[in-house]
């Protein structure tokens, strides 16, 4: 958070570097309201939302999300080679995303674009099909693990491996319900959210799925910290530059807001979006053509 004092006026620039999306910007807005109402001062707050989850209302694309998806795809390019190290190998690629499956879906899509361009020698068992994405599990889609297990077992039987991209928020409700039924305490963080690192959805589903597909070895790999620490790609650098330029202009004229493409406005212009309209937890739109096409091509039904 950067503060600039101009006589009795205060300009605050917030860069939300949290994975949740809107906490820093929300608190800055509350500070603005407090100073204005309680002390009669003037404060301008410009928010710059950085979250790889891309789950902030009503912003179309948050900083870092596209970069993280590209880096996650690159990460899995190396991890997937482990499928040749053991017969009947199950690899689960766990991506960040508590409430939104955007990062998991976008990472899978970018990885599929990469692997589709690769050429493989026909006599060898490794192929485009064996290295492809076989399942995409995200919070927005109901997960019938028994049905998915039956579908993925056919892939395991044919290729000797199976690759699933899993959002860390997938199946959390089911896991919590199971823990409560067993009388176990559900771990939570300071914000009251279920502590995903402690309930570990990747480990939970790897055990369930491994039994269903008959895996002899299971590998769970998490690309989140690798992906979100990467330098911004060209897409994000251009988005940041446009939002920063508009943010400076808004600050000069005294207009507060969180910078981004406003999905609720015609043409989705980049503007200072009013803070009361900013909130996290925006779900990924599973009806988008590219996502529907991806699931159709890998044979996964949209339940």
Phi, psi of 233 (to 5 degrees): -85, 180
Asked if 285 is an active-site residue, the reply is: no
DSSP secondary-structure letter at 50?
B
Q: What is the mean pLDDT of residues 38-65?
A: 86
**pLDDT on residue 170:** 86
**Over the Cα atoms of the chain, what is R_g?**
22
- Mind listing the domains of the chain with CATH numbers? 2-61+232-277 (3.40.50.450), 65-230 (3.40.50.460)
Half-sphere exposure of 169 (CA within 13 A, CB side): 23
266 vs 17, more confident? 266
104 vs 15, more confident? 104
**pLDDT on residue 41:** 64
- The pLDDT > 70 percentage for the chain reads 86
Give CA–CA dist 61/269, Å, rounded.
12
Give CA–CA dist 115/197, Å, rounded.
30
Give CA–CA dist 161/8, Å, rounded.
64
Give CA–CA dist 275/43, Å, rounded.
13
Task: Find where tokens 């620490």 sit.
Answer: 229
- pLDDT tens-digit readout, 93-141: 999 998 899 999 999 999 999 999 888 877 777 889 999 999 999 999 9
- pLDDT tens-digit readout, 189-208: 877 788 887 778 888 888 99
Does residue 9 register a pLDDT over 60? no
Extract the tokens encoding 258.
Answer: 């969180």
Contacts of 219 (CB under 8 A, 6+ apart): 79, 82, 89, 90, 91, 92
**pLDDT on residue 28:** 66
Q: What is the mean pLDDT of residues 43-47?
A: 83
**Catalytic choice (6, 22, 23, 53):** 53
Q: How many Å separate Cα 184 from the centre of its chain?
A: 28
- The pLDDT > 90 percentage for the chain reads 57
34 vs 19, more confident? 34
- pLDDT tens-digit readout, 145-195: 899 999 999 999 999 999 999 999 887 877 888 788 888 888 888 777 888
> Distances from the Cα of 108 to the Cαs of 64, 95, 130, in angstroms?
16, 10, 14
Give CA–CA dist 263/266, Å, rounded.
8
Give CA–CA dist 225/75, Å, rounded.
11
Does residue 8 register a pLDDT over 50? no
What 3-state class would DSSP assign to 96? coil
DSSP secondary-structure letter at 280?
S
């Amino acid at each position: 958070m950067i503060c600039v004092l101009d006589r009795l006026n205060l300009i605050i620039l917030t860069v939300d570097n949290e994975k949740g999306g809107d906490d820093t910007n929300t608190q800055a807005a509350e500070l603005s309201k407090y100073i204005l109402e309680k002390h009669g001062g003037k404060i301008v707050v410009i928010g710059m939302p950085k979250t790889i989850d891309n789950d902030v209302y009503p912003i179309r694309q948050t900083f870092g999300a596209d970069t993280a998806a590209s880096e996650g795809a690159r990460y899995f390019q190396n991890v997937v080679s482990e499928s040749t190290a053991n017969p009947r190998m199950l690899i689960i690629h766990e991506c960040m995303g508590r409430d939104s499956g955007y990062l998991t879906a976008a990472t899978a899509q970018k990885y599929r674009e990469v692997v589709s361009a690769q050429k493989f020698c026909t006599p060898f068992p490794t192929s485009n099909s064996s290295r492809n994405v076989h399942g995409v599990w995200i919070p927005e889609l109901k997960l019938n693990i028994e049905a998915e297990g039956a579908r993925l077992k056919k892939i395991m039987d044919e290729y000797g491996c199976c690759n699933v991209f899993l959002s860390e928020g997938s199946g959390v409700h089911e896991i919590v319900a199971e823990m409560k039924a067993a009388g176990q305490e559900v771990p939570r963080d300071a914000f009251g959210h279920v502590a995903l690192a402690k309930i570990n959805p990747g480990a939970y589903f790897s055990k369930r799925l491994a039994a269903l597909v008959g895996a002899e070895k299971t590998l769970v790999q998490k690309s989140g910290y690798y992906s979100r620490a990467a330098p911004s790609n060209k897409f994000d650098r251009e988005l940041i530059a446009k939002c920063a330029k508009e943010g400076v202009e808004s600050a000069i004229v005294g207009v507060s807001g969180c910078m981004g493409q406003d999905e609720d406005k015609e043409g989705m212009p980049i503007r200072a979006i009013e803070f009361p309209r900013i909130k996290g937890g925006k779900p990924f739109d599973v009806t988008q053509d590219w996502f529907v096409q991806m699931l159709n091509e890998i044979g996964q039904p949209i339940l």
